[in-house]
Amino acid sequence: MIGCGLIARAHGLAAARSERNVAFSCCSSKSAESAQAFAKEFDCGRSYDDHKNMLADEFVDGVVIAAPPEVHASIIEDCLSAGVRFI
């Protein structure tokens, strides 16, 4: 999860209700407190206050971008540079 605000929480709740085995292994937010709160609520392994650090440290199968729309393009570029596959 990149971005840990209201929209991220909606995704977290949807994942928790899913019949599939969906889990968030890590999350990031500009606010360390928001990332820590999301990690605690949705049982993420680790939280970060910078998505670039998260992408450098973690192997992820996919990314949910729940940040403001105006930063989506740069986050996608960062994800692609880190080797995250988009399907």
pLDDT of residue 9: 96
Q: Please report which confidence band the pLDDT of residue 87 belongs to, taking 50, 70 and 90 as the band edges.
A: low
- Does the pLDDT value for residue 15 go beyond 80? yes
Pair of tokens at residue 5? 């605000």
Q: Please report which confidence band the pLDDT of residue 34 belongs to, taking 50, 70 and 90 as the band edges.
A: very high
- The model carries a pTM of 0.91
- The domain spans of the chain are 6-81
CATH superfamily of 6-81: NAD(P)-binding Rossmann-like Domain (3.40.50.720)
- Does the pLDDT value for residue 60 go beyond 90? no
- Does the pLDDT value for residue 39 go beyond 90? yes
